[in-house]
Structure 1
Amino acid sequence: MVARIAARMLLTTDKRALWKFAYNFGYKGMRSVQKFKKRLKQGEHFPPFLFISIINSCQLRCQGCWVDVASPRQMISLEDLDKLVTDAKKRGNSYFGLLGGEPFMHPGLLKLLERHPDCYFQIFTNGQLITDEVAKKLRKLGNATPLISIEGSEVVSDERRGGRDVLNKTMEGVKNCVRNRLIVGVASSICQTNYDLVSKEWLNRLIELGVHYVWFHAYRVVGPSPTPELALTPEQLLNLRKFIVEMRTKAAIGIVEPYWDDRGEALCPMATGISHHIGPSGAIEPCPIIQFAKETIHDGPDVYDIMTKSEFLDDFRRTSAEATRGCVVLERPDLVRDLVNRHSAGDTTQRGTALAELDLLEPRVSQHNPEHTVPEKQWLYRFAKKYWYFGFGAYT
């Protein structure tokens, strides 16, 4: 399986892009985690992976979206993004996830990539703004991979994404990326209406399209219109985990999910401290779906200083890890509310209703299922998760 994935990468991607992926993301990413471990021993929490929502705007209106996509445009300026990445690089960071809204609506996106050729960027996108010209620019830069959201069939995509002809427009973006030999990923938020994507047939179709990796995550019941009827059942969540583990031993495509460790026990990237989120206002949040903050990127000399001194983030990590190995927002919205009130954290949304939304959430299951753990079978995934993506002492 590993050999087949490697062969596909070698034969179908631009060599510059492949080198940047291997060095900036692979080697330097592992090195950043080692530095993270050393910082933990000194009592300093600064994540090796930062996820940054660079803009709130988006041309789609997805079910369950927690971003204020219809509100006045709010974005982190190119200058602030440049400083943020530069400051994080000083601490050994080299990988950054760029989210929105729709990141390709940010006028400075490509300039940011150009200014930091020694970093690697994963761009979470609906793919509709990736024209052939944009894909050519990404190929020339070589230091970014588009992770394109596909939520199912034509009918399901229009319903889930709140648009018309969504799938065809998104597929054009995928084809432009593949044609320009980029490293291409597809992400799917698995829910009741697109559970059929959890199939070998879907993976085979993506392979035929030229996609190199897929990211499965369970639909999150959050935001101003949480749509709880879309949530997966505990049985479906367990089956999703089993499917991922099994297909990692068989399918010639990378499969990403950051929500279980090598032993099959659940984990939360926020609670382990391996990642935090910065919103389009510059607010420093525990994770993308927790839209509360005490600090912004403007509150100190650099983001490292701000985050390592944040009592709010520290309390959030510890309290969440003590409560569950899963998602604290889904399982214990009451704890999230208590943490927000205890620290007088501000609502970082433009709609100003995040706390009221928390009050309306009913506790539900997440990936934490200690009675039914599914350990990794494939040696490379097991090794990588054990040494570079695990609990980091959060659950001891």
Structure 2
Amino acid sequence: METDKRLLWKFAYNFGYKGMRSVQKYKQRLKKGVHFPPFLFISIINSCQLRCQGCWVDVSSPRQMLSLEELDRLVTDSKKHGNSFFGLLGGEPFMHPQMLELLARHPDCYFQIFTNGQLITDEVAAKLRKLGNATPLISIEGSEVVSDERRGGQEVFNKTVAGLKNCIKHRLIVGVTSSICQTNYDLVSEQWLKQLIDLGVHYVWFNTYRVVGPEPAPHLALRPEQVLELRRFIVNMRTRMPIGIVEPYWDDRGQALCPMSTGVSHHIGPSGSIEPCPIIQFSKENIRDSDSIYDLMTNSQFLKDFRELSAEATRGCVVLERPDLVKDIVIEHSASDTTQRQTAMAELDKLAPSSSQHNPETQIPEKHWLYRFAKKHWYFGFGAYT
């Protein structure tokens, strides 16, 4: 309740009510065999000032970014089909010179900005409060020592926390995300959640480290029992701690799922490529091919086959568990490597199969009624696994 009440209303209406409505429209489309995701995740720029371990984005390559006009067209067309929520990723999205203008052009939408937080100055936070339709989701990967090691920089933790405090000062709805791996598993703790609550953070998003990219770090990956422990921790803390806890990997019954396989979300890269998800950097379509993102996605045989193949193979992450299948479908469709490094296929060849969130022997259902209700109706399998 510390947040600006106008921002709280924008969140409740643009993200909450309209987000539920967009999923309902998605369900209606599915009955007709039409797949257009209710949520889009857009990497608006590849550039970043950090060099994180295991990053799959070409942050050191020449700058690629979607223009304001392309982003505006993409959002406008999506809105025609009921969408109102968009995730903005990078690189570092605050390096895009016109990102705030995009937010200003669409006050009827809600944006989640995945950021390292270091470019959120007092002035930027004030602008975000005035706009009122975005939540920064700030990445913190552990202590000062761990953050510097994981993020490839100096004073990373302190600079990130400074950006976080600017958000809190201006009463923004703000979250913290962590990619949980071996070096920061201590963040899976009640103490960490209490620290965030004391700071004024409203929600936390737990991801698990994905062993992908040009320089994967398999030694950082979680063991299956640690993934289960993380799931159990999330379910229990949702009933006890006054902070929102987000994770994208399980439904209300505790069954694993993949948002890409269910069709609830797909990804658009900084070159305009339309990809199954952020870590699958292959594409057959580009937003520059047509004025309609809806037409491109609903007519994409590549996306359709990818969803179906993934759902048939596992309820977890097909890239981790079956990189051979990913390679097969890329070859079958002659899909383009969307990286600037042009080594994505070679990276698949080197990728050894590993476990993900799929563990049918041990499923941990939601305990909190609100999470259980929301996941049951607006975030579940959508028939992908039948």
TM-score w.r.t. the length of structure 1 is 0.97
Q: 2:368 aligns with which of 360, 378, 395?
A: 378
Aligned twin of 2:292: 302
1:194 alignment partner, SS class: helix
Aligned twin of 2:271: 281
Counterpart-to-counterpart distance in 1, 2:54 and 2:242: 31
1:313 aligns to 2:298 (yes or no): no
Q: 2:45 aligns with which of 30, 51, 55?
A: 55
Q: 1:193 aligns with which of 177, 183, 187?
A: 183
Counterpart-to-counterpart distance in 2, 1:208 and 1:55: 33
Aligned twin of 2:214: 224
Aligned twin of 1:35: 25
Q: 1:175 deviation in Å?
A: 0.2
Q: Which amino acid aligns with 2:306?
A: F
Aligned residues: 386
Aligned twin of 2:34: 44
C-alpha offsets along residues 69-118 of structure 1, whole Å, 9 cap, x if unaligned? Answer: 00000000000000000000000000000000000000010000000000
2:54 alignment partner, SS class: coil
1:137 aligns to 2:127 (yes or no): yes
Q: Name stretches of at least 5 consecutive residues in structure 1 with no aligned partner.
A: 1-9
Report the RMSD for the aligned CA atoms in angstroms.
Answer: 0.4
Aligned twin of 1:260: 250
Q: 1:380 deviation in Å?
A: 0.1
Aligned twin of 1:344: 334
Counterpart-to-counterpart distance in 2, 1:104 and 1:64: 21
Q: 1:389 aligns with which of 376, 379, 383?
A: 379
2:370 alignment partner, SS class: helix
Q: Name stretches of at least 5 consecutive residues in structure 2 with no aligned partner.
A: none
Counterpart-to-counterpart distance in 2, 1:341 and 1:196: 41
Q: 1:249 aligns with which of 239, 249, 266?
A: 239
2:41 alignment partner, SS class: strand
Counterpart-to-counterpart distance in 1, 2:45 and 2:6: 28
Q: 1:165 deviation in Å?
A: 0.4
Counterpart-to-counterpart distance in 2, 1:311 and 1:238: 34
Q: 2:3 aligns with which of 13, 16, 35?
A: 13
2:288 alignment partner, SS class: coil
Q: Which amino acid aligns with 1:231?
A: A
Q: 1:298 deviation in Å?
A: 1.4
Q: 2:230 aligns with which of 226, 240, 260?
A: 240
Q: 1:16 deviation in Å?
A: 1.4
Aligned twin of 1:3: none
Q: 1:242 deviation in Å?
A: 0.2
Q: 1:356 deviation in Å?
A: 0.2
Q: Which amino acid aligns with 1:250?
A: R
2:341 alignment partner, SS class: coil
Aligned twin of 2:90: 100
C-alpha offsets along residues 311-344 of structure 1, whole Å, 9 cap, x if unaligned? Answer: 0000000000000000000000000000100000
C-alpha offsets along residues 357-391 of structure 1, whole Å, 9 cap, x if unaligned? Answer: 00000000000000000000000000000000000
Counterpart-to-counterpart distance in 2, 1:385 and 1:278: 25
Q: 1:301 deviation in Å?
A: 3.1
> Given that residues 46 and 270 in structure 2 are in contact (C-alpha distance below 8 angstroms), is that contact kept between their aligned partners in structure 1?
yes
Aligned twin of 1:161: 151
Counterpart-to-counterpart distance in 2, 1:140 and 1:94: 19
Aligned twin of 2:201: 211
> Given that residues 73 and 291 in structure 2 are in contact (C-alpha distance below 8 angstroms), is that contact kept between their aligned partners in structure 1?
no
Counterpart-to-counterpart distance in 2, 1:245 and 1:226: 29
Q: Which amino acid aligns with 2:80?
A: K
1:52 alignment partner, SS class: strand
Aligned twin of 1:4: none
Report percent identity of matched pairs: 79
Q: Which amino acid aligns with 2:144?
A: E
Q: Which amino acid aligns with 1:99?
A: L
Counterpart-to-counterpart distance in 2, 1:301 and 1:393: 30
C-alpha offsets along residues 117-152 of structure 1, whole Å, 9 cap, x if unaligned? Answer: 000000000000000000000000000000000000
Counterpart-to-counterpart distance in 1, 2:187 and 2:133: 29
TM-score w.r.t. the length of structure 2 is 1.00
2:289 alignment partner, SS class: coil
Q: Which amino acid aligns with 2:304?
A: D
Counterpart-to-counterpart distance in 2, 1:361 and 1:99: 24
Counterpart-to-counterpart distance in 2, 1:380 and 1:240: 20
Q: 1:253 deviation in Å?
A: 0.3
1:269 aligns to 2:269 (yes or no): no
Counterpart-to-counterpart distance in 1, 2:290 and 2:60: 30
Q: 1:15 deviation in Å?
A: 1.3
Q: 1:300 deviation in Å?
A: 2.0
Counterpart-to-counterpart distance in 2, 1:376 and 1:26: 20
1:305 alignment partner, SS class: helix
2:382 alignment partner, SS class: coil
Counterpart-to-counterpart distance in 2, 1:150 and 1:181: 19
Q: Which amino acid aligns with 2:359?
A: N
